[in-house]
Structure 1
Amino acid sequence: MKASETVLEIDLKALEHNYRYLASKVNSQVKKLAVIKAFAYGSDSVALAKRLEKLEVDYFAVAYTKEGVALRDGGVTKPILVLHPQSAHFQEIIDRCLTPSIYSDFVLTHFIASAEANNQQHYPIHLKLNTGLNRLGFDPDEAPLIIEKLQQTSSIKVDGIFSHLAASEDPEEKEFTTSQINTFKKVSEDIIAGIGYQPLKHLCNTSGILNYPEAHFDMVRTGIGLYGYGNSDEIDKQLIPVGTLKTIISQIHHIKEGESVGYNRKFKAEKDTKTATLPLGHADGINRIYGKQKTNVSINGHLAPIIGNVCMDMIMIDISGINCKEGDEVILFGKEKSAEEFAHNAGTISYELITSVSQRVKRKIIE
């Protein structure tokens, strides 16, 4: 359907295709966790979670407590792992039956206190281990401390142990990734021996699923792959972008040689030029890095570069030689024009582009 305004179309059939493709890469006994943080990578977290529940996904993950609360309020019932919980939100986590990632002694101590204050027994947590990403997580030498504290309380129970691969998409970092896998195996087994029961172990992200089958363990996590991007051209061909960002031409201008376009006159016409103004800008997630002819959009099957500085609410494009008119549809990224291509041309990545789409952009669910 042609756009009549700026809209992000969200294709649930594409989501289903991507989920089934990634699920086909793991043993049927391995559980699947869908990462739907940041509004499901800039789309619609509740709509996607509900479709994934129908596909029998086992677990969800979000970054922050607020995101998990939004899923619960939207009717999502499967377990939800909060990857970066803050102690100020522990009561909300317990009230909404969310599962916190426990990544430090501070977080462990304070969550035990919250669980005990709420008379909890065996409240589920996941332990986050730092195996080399050096972002969040217990260091390997803290395993005895973890075990000691867990043995002293019955208020919480370890439902999962996990870590995060730093470079699973990079073949040049295979040695480092293998060392992460081995560290995770050793430390997680030490903790399991100390607590006396077997929680879920999970390590692989999307690229880990595809490149390190030996590290699938009990559960795998997929984020970017669900949305149609696989960190390589080969895998991208197997996936379908879920989101398509569309807009329309608001106005067409005929710029004479020597005239300029936009703020600070960052585009100056070297010849007579036809331009179009589009109704979206950096307040909608099309940041200033995409201006000055770094990347382009698609109109009626033709590419048109973004010119000059991106404005807060508008961008201008060069449509010289393109047969188009005011009101015509413009595609920034989607199935026919990859977000990875759009982003790469400007020196960034698809993750940043798709998660930046502002909440003022209308979302349209395509069944």
Structure 2
Amino acid sequence: MDKVGETTLEIDLSALEHNFRYLKSKLLPETKFLAVVKAFAYGSDMVAIAKKMETLGVDYFAVAYVKEGVLLRDAGIMSPILVLHPQPVNFGELIDRCLEPSLYSQKILKQFLKTAHQKKQKDYPVHLKFNTGLNRLGFWETDAEHISAQLAGRNEIKIKSIFSHLAASEDLTEKEFSQMQIKTFEKISAELNQKLGYSPFRHMLNTSGIINYPKAQFEMVRSGIGLYGYGNDAKEDQNLKPVATLKTIISQIHKIEPGETVGYNRAFASEDHRISATLPIGHADGIGRQYGKGKAHVTIHGKKAPIIGNVCMDMIMVDVTDIDCQEGDEVLVFGENASAEQFATLANTISYEILTAISQRVKRTYKDT
């Protein structure tokens, strides 16, 4: 096994391409594909992911905030970028960088119209978010008339798409609720089209929606976690390839005597002779304290090494008593053979959290075979 030399997040762009093509195979040829690259592309590298996706012909990108969209524009990304949760204070910069806002309330619509007017815009592309049951962001079903009234006689903006978000697309026990959301969205879009006099394209499905509700793909779908190798289902995970592999090394090996303790607050007390390895990764790198005290493990030479004691800011200690290893040897935290979902489950959380938690101080490397 090659030695990585330091804590490293390896980003496999060929795995990204595999995942994109697999998800595309679930869609009609004409269905547009939006790649969600918010949160540094789910903890990987937003720019590297976006550049690869552009070469693959993705139709749209989505970010959470304006500054994420600015980062992509500064890197030369030219594709349309939907900003899912823009704040009014950033509307001017959003327009200057040709980003497309999600407008999700009467107040936000009014404020964006004001900014667009001040900047002398005409038919600026915007997207309307409707709440159909997630109850997070979005216009209400009854807001269609108010929206059309606000836009009557004005030409500063043009509704490019309308969209919503399924609340439990991965949970088939909630199929009835998801179908209700889809029907509600269809009703909203039909009413809004009638009032606007034109038909913006529609999108509602996330990764699990693409897999479980393909008949509701409308004109575009949005995928985040699926692109990065996780399908919210063990069976679907087999069809996808993890894009990110987190590796580190053994900095030092200690022999622990019976009765000795390891780490802060003496959280691990040895009952017999043990051997521990200290690794240069901690909660400042994204491995939270919830993974300590034996809950999670890393892999060294194909064997599990439990995390012992409390996770430190910059280090963790693991039990290597039964593993033949040396200082400098490579350690796998998560990746293709030990997925982020499996690692996260050990601490009762999800792949999204561990992936997006990986600190920007962790070195990124890339492969594209």
> 1:114 is matched with which residue?
115
Deviation readout 1:42-64 (Å, 9 max, x if unpaired): 00001110110010000000000
Paired position in structure 2 for 1:159: 160
CA distance in structure 2 between the aligned counterparts of 1:210 and 1:266, rounded to whole angstroms: 43
Give the CA deviation at 1:365: 1.4
- Equivalent positions of 1:262-273 (< 5 A) are 262-273=263-274
Whichever residue aligns with residue 288 of structure 1, its letter is R
Whether the aligned pair in 1 keeps the contact of 2:245 and 2:335 (CA below 8 Å) is: yes
After TM superposition, the structure 1 = structure 2 runs for residues 162-173 of structure 1, keeping only pairs within 5 Å, are 162-173=163-174
Q: Quote the residue 1:250 is aligned against.
A: 251
- Structure 1 residues 193-232: aligned runs within 5 Å: 193-232=194-233
For 2:274 and 2:154, locate their aligned partners in 1 and report how far apart those are by CA, in whole Å: 72
Which amino acid letter does the alignment assign opposite residue 149 of structure 1?
Q
What SS class does the counterpart of residue 254 from structure 1 fall into? strand
| Letter matched to residue 292 of structure 2 | G
Residues 1:299 and 2:300 aligned together: yes
The answer for unaligned runs of 5 or more in structure 1 is: none
Cα deviation digits, residues 229-250 of structure 1 (max 9, x gap): 0000000000000000000000
Q: CA deviation at 1:188?
A: 1.2
Quote the Cα distance in structure 2 between the aligned partners of 1:3 and 1:355.
22
1:92 is the counterpart of 2:83: no
Q: Is the 8 A contact 2:289 2:311 kept in 1?
A: yes
Using the alignment, how far apart are the partners of 1:200 and 1:78 within structure 2? 17
| Number of corresponding residues | 367
Question: What residue identity is the alignment partner of 2:89?
Answer: A
Distance in 1 between residues matched to 2:237 and 2:182, nearest whole Å = 25
Q: Secondary structure at the match of 2:226?
A: helix
8 Å Cα contact 2:31-2:221 kept in structure 1: yes
Which residue number in structure 1 is paired with residue 5 of structure 2? 4
Match of 1:124 in 2: 125
Within 2, Cα distance between the matches of 1:285 and 1:337?
Answer: 17
- Following superposition of structure 1 onto structure 2, how do residues 340-355 of structure 1 map, counting pairs within 5 Å? 340-355=341-356
Matched residue of 1:303: which SS? Answer: strand
Q: Structure 2 matches for 1:64-83, cutoff 5 A?
A: 64-83=65-84
- Give 2:294's aligned amino acid: Q
Q: Deviations over 1:188-247 (max 9, x none)?
A: 111111111111100000000000011100000000000000000000000000000000
- SS in structure 1 of the partner of residue 101 of structure 2: strand
How big is the shift at 1:366?
1.2
TM-score by length of 2: 0.99
Cα distance in 2, alignment partners of residues 189 and 282 from structure 1: 48
Q: Following TM superposition, by how much is the alpha carbon of 1:152 offset from its aligned partner in structure 2, in angstroms?
A: 3.5
1:2-81 → structure 2 map (5 Å cutoff): 2-81=3-82
**Partner SS, residue 160 of structure 2:** strand
Q: Deviations over 1:48-105 (max 9, x none)?
A: 1011001000000000000000000000000000000000000010000000000001
- Separation in 2 of the partners of 1:256 and 1:246? 28
Residue by residue over 1:288-331, the C-alpha shift from the partner in whole angstroms, topping out at 9 and shown as x without a partner, is 00001001000011010001100000000000110100000001
Instruction: Kindly state the Cα deviation for residue 129 of structure 1 after the two structures are TM-superposed.
Output: 0.1
SS at match of 1:224: coil
Using the alignment, how far apart are the partners of 1:202 and 1:70 within structure 2?
25
Report deviation, 1:287.
0.5
SS at match of 1:132: coil
Aligned residues of 2:27 and 2:214 also touching (Cα < 8 A): yes
In 1, Cα distance between equivalents of 2:115 and 2:106: 14
1:143 CA drift (Å): 1.4
Q: Which residue of 2 aligns with 1:290?
A: 291
The alignment status of 1:312 with 2:313, answered yes or no, reads yes
CA–CA separation in structure 2 for the residues paired with 1:326 and 1:282: 21
How far apart, in 2, do the equivalents of 1:337 and 1:351 lie?
15
- Aligned sequence identity (%): 61
CA distance in 2, matches of 1:137, 1:25: 27
Secondary structure of 2:82's match?
Answer: strand
Q: Match of 1:335?
A: 336
Quick one: distance in 2 between partners of 1:54 and 1:230?
A: 23
Distance 2:117 2:262 in 1: 63
Which amino acid letter does the alignment assign opposite residue 82 of structure 1?
A: V
1:191, 1:2 → 2: CA distance?
58
Deviation at 1:270, TM superposition (A): 1.5
Q: Distance in 2 between matches of 1:181 and 1:276?
A: 52
Quick one: which amino acid aligns to residue 191 of structure 2? D
User: Contact (CA 8 Å) 2:8, 2:362: kept in 1 or not?
Assistant: yes
Deviations 1:2-46 (A, max 9, x none): 311100000000000000000000001000000000000000001
1: CA distance, partners of 2:44 / 2:151: 38
Give the TM-score normalised by structure 1.
0.99
Per-residue deviation, 1:272: 0.8
1:82 & 1:161 partners in 2: Cα distance?
Answer: 13
Q: CA deviation at 1:257?
A: 1.1
> Following the alignment from structure 2 to structure 1, what is the Cα–Cα distance between the partners of residues 85 and 155?
23
- Amino acid corresponding to residue 316 of structure 1 in structure 2: M
* SS of structure 2 residue aligned to 1:147: helix
> AA paired with 1:65?
V
